[in-house]
Amino acid sequence: MGKDVAAGGESNRRPPPPPPMPLGLRLQLIELSAAIDAVERRDGTVNRALYSVFVEHLMSVRADPSPDAATGAVRSFDFTIDAARGLWARVFAPAAAAPAATPMPVMVYYHGGGFALFSPAVAPFDGVCRRLCGDVGVVVVSVNYRLAPEHRYPAAYDDGVDALRFLDGNGIPGLDGDDVPVDLASCFLAGESAGGNIVHHVANRWAATWQPTAKNLRLAGIIPVQPYFGGEERSPSELALDGVAPVVNLRRSDFSWKAFLPVGADRDHPAAHVTDENAELAEAFPPAMVVIGGFDPLKDWQWRYVDVLRRKGKAVEVAELPDAFHGFYGFPELADAGKVLQDMKVFVQSNRAARATA
């Protein structure tokens, strides 16, 4: 794991120079930022006409249920949870399991996008889930939750919980248990950015309300990757890295909260601002591994989240990557993107074993 720092590890010094990046990656980040700025309006709405061009047509990929040598040994397919609200998921599983294979843990994944953008079909998230399956050794179920501002808080959390309820009652449709057996009692939640925020709130809801009566699915752990938290206060890292770090800046963050939170709410709303006072964590809240990047403007909020979990007596570990920017692990050419998958693998294996022998 990356080196952990003391509780309350907020940044009060000058920001480091930007970490070295390949030119091609810099251009990708510029293009991504331009696409986000093109579709996000100042009034907190999204230009869905432009969005359909930039995201749904140019950035999305189809599921691949029959992979060939070019796509590797991971297959993918989609299934519907609730067509009426557009709730569906994309599954990533080995093309075939070895004979008498041990059931695989399940990872339910929530993509990023500031609560307002993207889907499991967007190429970077499709690629991340494919690598999670292959490198971490899990069957991934990537959830297409409803987007803000058309569907504000708590729609994404509701969809996240309902996806777990569906899996608990139905298993994974389209996956032959004799082909690739899965262990729903070793279920992990993971997601980056807004998806990391969703991971926290869905896990707490599930642990408090649904876990006691669940038939098959038990949460073994959560992995919020650079989770999206905030508040009315501007943290030192937000101020120091604004306009310096790629992808996230104050303007885009403010847009995301304005789009997602209830009309009239500010950034101290409990969905965004997880504190000792408002974080009533369920007794069965699962162990957490929080991924924090040193070049992420949101890192101070993420460290505060870690501190809250610790003060509440919850099991939490930190994977800290000093040079990582927000969204880094969507780019496999970066060494940190591979390293964090190995950290995730260790976390999954150790927590699964603890559950299995309990």
- Domain extents in the chain: 69-351
What is the pTM (predicted TM-score) of this model?
Answer: 0.93
- Picking from 10-19, 143-152, 286-295, which range would have the lowest pLDDT averaged per residue? 10-19
> Are the C-beta atoms of residues 330 and 127 closer than 8 Å to each other?
yes
Average model confidence (pLDDT) for the chain? 91
Residue range 24-33: mean pLDDT, rounded: 92
Residue range 267-280: mean pLDDT, rounded: 93
Output b/e per residue, 165-195; b: 16+ Cβ within 10 A.
Answer: ebbbeeebeebeeeebebbbbbbbbbbbbbb
> Are the C-beta atoms of residues 333 and 22 closer than 8 Å to each other?
yes
- pLDDT above 70 coverage of the chain, percent: 91
pLDDT band at 15 (very low <50, low <70, confident <90, very high): low
- Picking from 55-59, 78-82, 259-263, 317-321, which range would have the lowest pLDDT averaged per residue? 55-59
CATH superfamily of 69-351: Alpha/Beta hydrolase fold, catalytic domain (3.40.50.1820)
Residue 177's pLDDT is 67
pLDDT band at 21 (very low <50, low <70, confident <90, very high): confident
Residue 100's pLDDT is 60
Residue range 294-321: mean pLDDT, rounded: 97
Residue 5's pLDDT is 37
Please state, in angstroms and rounded to a whole number, the distance separating the CA atoms of residues 283 and 12.
34
Q: What is the pLDDT of residues 187-232, one digit of tens each?
A: 999 999 999 999 999 999 999 999 999 999 999 999 999 999 999 9
Residue 355's pLDDT is 43
**Residue (of 357, 348, 352, 349) closest to 109 by Cα position:** 348
- Picking from 177-191, 228-242, 328-342, which range would have the lowest pLDDT averaged per residue? 177-191
> Are the C-beta atoms of residues 222 and 291 closer than 8 Å to each other?
no
Res. 115: pLDDT tops 90: yes
Q: Which two three-digit tokens encode residue 337?
A: 């993107």
Residue 55's pLDDT is 85
Enzyme catalytic residues? 193, 296, 326
> Are the C-beta atoms of residues 120 and 89 closer than 8 Å to each other?
yes
**Residue (of 194, 219, 195) closest to 205 by Cα position:** 219
Q: 343: part of which helix (H) or strand (E)? A: helix 335-356
Residue 102's pLDDT is 87
Strand-strand pairing, 182-192 and 219-225? parallel
Please state, in angstroms and rounded to a whole number, the distance separating the CA atoms of residues 358 and 347.
16
Residue 357's pLDDT is 40
Please state, in angstroms and rounded to a whole number, the distance separating the CA atoms of residues 20 and 81.
42
Please state, in angstroms and rounded to a whole number, the distance separating the CA atoms of residues 258 and 260.
6
Residues facing residue 319 across a β-bridge:
291
pLDDT band at 37 (very low <50, low <70, confident <90, very high): very high
Res. 183: pLDDT tops 60: yes
Q: Which two three-digit tokens encode residue 248?
A: 């996230």
Q: Which two three-digit tokens encode residue 66?
A: 């029959």
> Are the C-beta atoms of residues 192 and 226 closer than 8 Å to each other?
yes
pLDDT band at 99 (very low <50, low <70, confident <90, very high): low
Please state, in angstroms and rounded to a whole number, the distance separating the CA atoms of residues 139 and 91.
7
Our CA angle for 70, 76, 81, nearest 5°, is: 165
CB proximity list for 318: less than 8 A, separation 6 or greater: 1, 2, 4, 5, 289, 290, 291, 292, 306
Q: What is the dihedral of CA 340, 272, 139, 86, to 10 degrees?
A: -140
Res. 123: pLDDT tops 70: yes
- pLDDT above 90 coverage of the chain, percent: 82
Residue 16's pLDDT is 64
Burial class (CB in 10 A: 0-12, 13-18, 19+), 242: middle
Please state, in angstroms and rounded to a whole number, the distance separating the CA atoms of residues 81 and 119.
15
3-state secondary structure at position 289: strand
Q: What is the pLDDT of residues 71-97, one digit of tens each?
A: 568 999 999 999 999 999 999 999 876
pLDDT greater at residue 143 or residue 54: 143
**Residue (of 186, 180, 254) closest to 222 by Cα position:** 186
